[in-house]
Structure 1
Amino acid sequence: MTLARRLLRTKPTERIVAEGGRGELRRTMSLWQLTLFSVGATLGTGIFVILGQAVPKAGPAVVLAFALAAVTALFSALSYAELAGTIPVSGSSYSYAYATLGELVAWVCGWCLMLEYAVSVAAVAVGWGEYLNAFLRSLSGFELPEAITRSPGQEGGVVNVTGIVIVLLATWLLLYGASESATANAVFVLVKVAVLVFFCVVAFTAFSSRNLAPFAPMGVAGITAAASQVFFSYIGFDAASTAGEEARNPRRDLPLAILLSLVLVTVVYMLVAVAAVGALPWTDFDSRSTEASLSHIADLASGATWPGLVVSFGAVISIASVVLTTIYGQTRILFAMSRDGLIPRVFQRVNPRRQVPVANTLIVAAFVSVLAGLVPLGQLAEATSIGTLFAFAIVNVGVLVLRRRSPELPRGFRTPLFPVTPVLGAILCVVVMAGLARVTWLAFGLWMLAGLVCYFLYGYGHSRLNAEVR
C-alpha cells in the first residue's frame, strides 16, 4: 500500500462503533445529563468572559454578532447530530473524520480538538480569578492580589494561581466518575442559568433605547469581527458527542442533546447581550478590563452592589462548570485516539473501580494548568476558535462523504435539507475563520506543523490500522 493510501485509509464505521461498545466506560448518562453537559461546556464562556471584548468591535450590533455565530454553529451542530447518532463513540469529530476522510485528516482533526478543548479550558480559567475577586470584593471588601489572579503580560500578573486552582478542583471531581461529574455539572448549570436570568431582570430595569444608537457603528466588518470572537462562546455544544460511550441510549440521545443545548444557549446569550448593551452605552465597555463586565453592569443598573455580587457568584459557578465539562471532553477524545494507537497507550488506561481514564485526566489537567497560569485570555480565545472552526468544517464534509459512501447505515438523526446544510456549514466556518487576526492564523499554522511532526514521528508508526497492512 502506498504512503498516500495509508494516510487516507478510513476506519470502517462498523468497527469504530464495535470498539466503542466494549464497555470500557460505564453507560450512565441520560438525555438530561448529556444536554446539561453540552450546556455546561458552552454557557457562560462568552457571556461572562468575552462579551466585553466583542462590544467595542461591533457596538450594539454585538447582538447580531451572536446571532451570526449561532447560525454558524447551528449548521455544524446539525452535522454533529447526524454523525453522533451514526457513530456514537467517545472520539467525537476525530472518530467521524477517521470513518469518512482517513487517518491523516482524523489526526489533524484530533489535533485541532486538543487546541479547542485544552486551550478553551485554560481561557475560561484565566477569567475565573477576576470574577472570584469581584465576588470577594462585593462580599467583604477583600480581594486576592493581582500577582496570583492575572497571567504574565497582564498588569500586575505573575502566575494565575486561581486559574490553576479551578482546573485542579474540576479534575478532582472528574476522578470520582462520569456519573458524579454529570450530577455536579447539572447543579452548576441550573445555578448559572438562574443567575443570568437574574442579570437580565436587573439590566432591563435600566434599559434605554438610546444606548442602541447607532446600532452598527463599525458596519458589517465590525459585526463579522465580533462574530469571529464570540464564536468562542458557542464552543462546547459538541461536548455531548464525547460521551458516546457513556450515554445510555446514544443513537437517540446524542443528537437531541447537541441540538437542545445549542437552542438553550443561544436564547440565553441573545437575552443577556440585549440587556447588557441596553443598560450600558457601548462606548463605556472597556476591552482591556472585561472579565467582570456583567457584574459591573448589574451594579450600575441597580445603583447597588448586591446584584453584582450575585452575578459574580454565578460567574464563579459558571466557569467552574465549563472547566469541568471541557476537561471531560478532552480526556475522552484522547482516549479514542489512544485506542487507535495514534498517541501513547497511557491515555487509554481506565481505572477498573471508577471506570475513568485516571492518568489521561491527570496529564490533561497538568497541561491545562500551565496554560491557565501563564497565558493571557485574549490570545487563548481566538486560538481556540480557529481550531474549533477547522474541526467543525471537517465534520460538515464528513456528513457529505458518509451519506454518499454508506447511505444504508442506521442513523439516529438525519441533517435536514441535505446537502445544503452541511455545505453551508463548511462555508460559514471558513467565513468566520477569515475574520480572525493574522497572528491567530500564524499560531494555528505552527500548531498544525507541530501536529504533523508528532504524527509522523509517533502516530504513523504506532497506528493500529496501518499495522494491519504491513
Structure 2
Amino acid sequence: MSERITLGKTFKPHWVWAIAFGSAIGWGSFVLPVEWMDRAGPMGVIIGLWIGGLILSLVGLSTGFLVKAYPITGGAFTYAYLAFGRKHAFLCGWFLILGYAAIVALNASAFALMIKFLVPDVVKVGLLYRIAGWDVYFVEVLIASAVLVLFAWLNIRGADATAQTQFYFCVLLIAAATGVTAAMSFAPETSFGNLLPLYKPGIPSWSAIAAIVAISPWAYVGFDTVPQAAEEFNFSPAKATFLILAALVVAASHYSIMILATGLAMPWLDLVDLREIWGTGWAVQQVLGTAGLAALAIALCMGIFTGLIGFYISCSRLMFAMGRAKALPAVFCRLHGKHGTPWASIVFVCAICLLAPWFGRSVLLWIVDMSAVGISIAFIYYCAVAYRLFKWTPTQRAPAFCKETAPGKKLIALAGMLCSIGLLGLLLVPGSPAFLETPAWIALGCWVLIGLGFYLTLAREYCNTPKAEMDRLILGHAAA
C-alpha cells in the first residue's frame, strides 16, 4: 500500500473563521457595488444577497454536518466520493478547483485595478493590446503577477502563520469598511434619498433580486473553505457549523454596508452612468476626500489579501486531497520538507493564475460567471451527501456510512440541495435573469475538456485501485 500523507493539526477556531469570512469577501464587495446596482438597484442587491446568504446557510449547515462526521481535507471531493463514488468525486473536485482558482486570479486583478485607479500614470504604461474592450498594460500585468507570486510564497512558508495573518487582516477589513460607511452616512454631502429608486427601473423587482441571488454562490464562496481545512483543525470538528454560519452572517452584513457606502454619495443612477473604473472608490473620494479613499483602499487590500490567502489554502488542499487519491498526479500531494505545506499544488495554482492578467478584466469576469456553475455544482453535492448521511426513521434502509436518525438535519440538507439546484438553473436555463453569456459557455467548455484530459490520463489507476485502498487514501480508514 502507498503511504497516506497527512497534514499537521495547527488551525485554531478563529483562524478558520477568518479563512471562511475572508475568502467569502475578497475584492467583490469593494469593486462591484456599482455594477450590481446597475443590475438590480440598491435594495435589489441587498435583498438578493441576503436571500442568497439564507439559501447558502442551508448549504453551510449541511457542510457542518459533514465536517463533524468526517473531518478530512478535500471537502466536496471527499464527500462526493463517500456517497456517490469516484466519478462523481472527480467531477465535483474539478469544478471546485475552477471556482477557487478563478477567484485567486480575480483578487490579484483587483489589486492591480486599485493601483490603476489610485496612480493611473504609473500603471498605464506599456500598452500591450486591447481585448474585449479592455486595455492591457504591461505594468498592470506585472503588479497582478507579483501579488500572485508573493502570496504563493507566503502560503508555502507555513499554513499556521498565514492563517493567523488572515485573522488580523479580517479584523482590519471590518474596522476600515465599517468606519468608511459610518463616515459616509453622517457626512453632510450624502443623502439616503440618493438610494432611490430602490430597484432598477424598467424591470420587475423580483427579476432584479433573482439576478443577484443567482450570483450569491460566487459572492459567498469561501465559507466552504472550512471543510478543506478540516484535517488541520486543532479543535473539535463540531464547531465547524457555527464558524460557517458566523462567516456567512458577517459577510452578508459587510456586503450590505458597502452598497450603502457607495450609493449615498450621489443618485445611484447617475453614478452608474459615470462608468468609473472603480465606482465605490470614486464615490468615497468625492465625499471623504483622500483620507476616506485611503481607508477604503486599506479595506480593499485586506479583502484582496484575505481572498488570496483563503483560496490558495483551499485550492491547494483540494488538489492535495485529489492527488493523494490518485485523481490528480501524485506531485500535488507532496509536502514541503520544512514547512509541511502542499507546495506543488500552491505552485500549480499560482502558475495557472499567472496567465489570467494577460487576458484583461473583461475575460476574467466571464470566468467569474462560468466558475459560479462549478461552485453551485459543489454546493449541490455537499447537500446531497448530507441528505444521505441521515435517516428519516430508525427502520429506514440507508447507506453504510449513514450516521444517525435525524429527520430535521435530513430536511435541511434536502432544502439546501433543492435551492442549490435552483441557483444552478438560474445560470443554465435560457431566459433566466442570470443565464450565462456565450463567452462564459466557451470558457466552461474549455475547462470541461481540460478536466476530461486529466481524467482519461489518470482513469486507469484512479478507477482500478481497490476500494479498500481508496477508502484509506481519501478517508484515512475503511468506509463504514
- TM-score normalised over the length of structure 1: 0.86
Secondary structure, aligned partner of 1:156? strand
Task: Give the equivalent residue in structure 2 for 1:456.
Answer: 456
The whole-number CA distance in structure 2 between the counterparts of 1:185 and 1:106 is 29
Task: Give the equivalent residue in structure 2 for 1:395.
Answer: 382
Secondary structure, aligned partner of 1:126? helix
Task: Give the equivalent residue in structure 2 for 1:93.
Answer: 76
The one-letter amino acid paired with 2:459 is: G
Q: 1:45 to 1:406 in 2, by over 3 A?
A: farther
Question: Which runs of 5 or more residues in structure 2 are unaligned?
Answer: 391-397, 429-433, 471-480
Task: Give the equivalent residue in structure 1 for 2:415.
Answer: 421
Total equivalences in the alignment: 444
The whole-number CA distance in structure 1 between the counterparts of 2:30 and 2:129 is 16
CA offsets, 1:333-360, max 9 Å, x none? 0000011111111001112321111222
Q: 1:411 to 1:185 in 2, by over 3 A?
A: farther
The whole-number CA distance in structure 2 between the counterparts of 1:381 and 1:151 is 20
The whole-number CA distance in structure 1 between the counterparts of 2:111 and 2:405 is 40
2:95–2:374 CA contact under 8 A, matched in 1 = yes
Task: Give the equivalent residue in structure 2 for 1:12.
Answer: none
- TM-score normalised over the length of structure 2: 0.84
The whole-number CA distance in structure 2 between the counterparts of 1:193 and 1:164 is 27
The one-letter amino acid paired with 2:163 is: A
Aligned residue among 156, 177, 197 for 2:135: 156
Q: 1:416 to 1:202 in 2, by over 3 A?
A: farther
Aligned residue among 213, 221, 245 for 2:197: 213
Q: 1:288 to 1:81 in 2, by over 3 A?
A: farther
1:307 and 2:288 correspond: no
Q: 1:291 to 1:252 in 2, by over 3 A?
A: farther
2:71–2:227 CA contact under 8 A, matched in 1 = yes
Deviation of the 1:290 alpha carbon? 6.1
Q: Which moved more, 1:311-320 or 1:321-330?
A: 311-320
Aligned residue among 67, 75, 86 for 1:103: 86
Deviation of the 1:50 alpha carbon? 2.5
Aligned residue among 302, 307, 315 for 1:330: 315
Q: 1:38 to 1:188 in 2, by over 3 A?
A: same
1:79 and 2:62 correspond: yes
Task: Give the equivalent residue in structure 2 for 1:385.
Answer: 372
Task: Give the equivalent residue in structure 1 for 2:181.
Answer: 200
The one-letter amino acid paired with 2:156 is: L
Q: 1:411 to 1:255 in 2, by over 3 A?
A: farther
2:159–2:341 CA contact under 8 A, matched in 1 = yes
Task: Give the equivalent residue in structure 2 for 1:3.
Answer: none
The whole-number CA distance in structure 2 between the counterparts of 1:167 and 1:149 is 20
Q: Which moved more, 1:456-465 or 1:145-154?
A: 145-154
Q: 1:280 to 1:382 in 2, by over 3 A?
A: farther
Aligned residue among 330, 339, 348 for 1:345: 330
Task: Give the equivalent residue in structure 1 for 2:269.
Answer: 283
Task: Give the equivalent residue in structure 1 for 2:473.
Answer: none
2:195–2:263 CA contact under 8 A, matched in 1 = yes
The whole-number CA distance in structure 1 between the counterparts of 2:235 and 2:166 is 20
Q: CA RMSD in A?
A: 2.9
Question: Which runs of 5 or more residues in structure 1 are unaligned?
Answer: 1-18
Q: How do 1:6-85 and structure 2 match up within 5 A?
A: 24-60=6-42, 61-85=44-68
Deviation of the 1:467 alpha carbon? 7.7
Task: Give the equivalent residue in structure 1 for 2:122.
Answer: 143
Task: Give the equivalent residue in structure 2 for 1:16.
Answer: none
Deviation of the 1:77 alpha carbon? 1.3
The one-letter amino acid paired with 2:371 is: T
Q: Which moved more, 1:125-134 or 1:434-443?
A: 434-443
The one-letter amino acid paired with 2:168 is: V
Q: How do 1:233-248 and structure 2 match up within 5 A?
A: 233-248=219-234
The whole-number CA distance in structure 2 between the counterparts of 1:107 and 1:23 is 19
The whole-number CA distance in structure 2 between the counterparts of 1:460 and 1:74 is 38
The whole-number CA distance in structure 1 between the counterparts of 2:227 and 2:277 is 29
The whole-number CA distance in structure 1 between the counterparts of 2:222 and 2:128 is 25
1:44–1:318 CA contact under 8 A, matched in 2 = yes
Task: Give the equivalent residue in structure 2 for 1:263.
Answer: 249
The one-letter amino acid paired with 2:82 is: A
Secondary structure, aligned partner of 1:353? coil
The whole-number CA distance in structure 1 between the counterparts of 2:127 and 2:221 is 27
The whole-number CA distance in structure 2 between the counterparts of 1:469 and 1:317 is 42
Query: Aligned residues: percent identity?
Result: 21
The whole-number CA distance in structure 1 between the counterparts of 2:359 and 2:257 is 33
The whole-number CA distance in structure 2 between the counterparts of 1:148 and 1:238 is 39
1:166 and 2:153 correspond: no
Deviation of the 1:373 alpha carbon? 3.7
2:40–2:212 CA contact under 8 A, matched in 1 = yes
The one-letter amino acid paired with 1:356 is: T
The whole-number CA distance in structure 2 between the counterparts of 1:256 and 1:76 is 13
The whole-number CA distance in structure 1 between the counterparts of 2:405 and 2:271 is 46
The one-letter amino acid paired with 2:7 is: L
Secondary structure, aligned partner of 1:157? strand
The one-letter amino acid paired with 2:240 is: L
The whole-number CA distance in structure 2 between the counterparts of 1:76 and 1:34 is 17
Deviation of the 1:45 alpha carbon? 2.9
The whole-number CA distance in structure 2 between the counterparts of 1:251 and 1:311 is 35
Q: 1:469 to 1:316 in 2, by over 3 A?
A: closer
Task: Give the equivalent residue in structure 1 for 2:477.
Answer: none
2:76–2:378 CA contact under 8 A, matched in 1 = yes
Q: 1:281 to 1:386 in 2, by over 3 A?
A: farther
1:132 and 2:132 correspond: no
The one-letter amino acid paired with 2:351 is: A
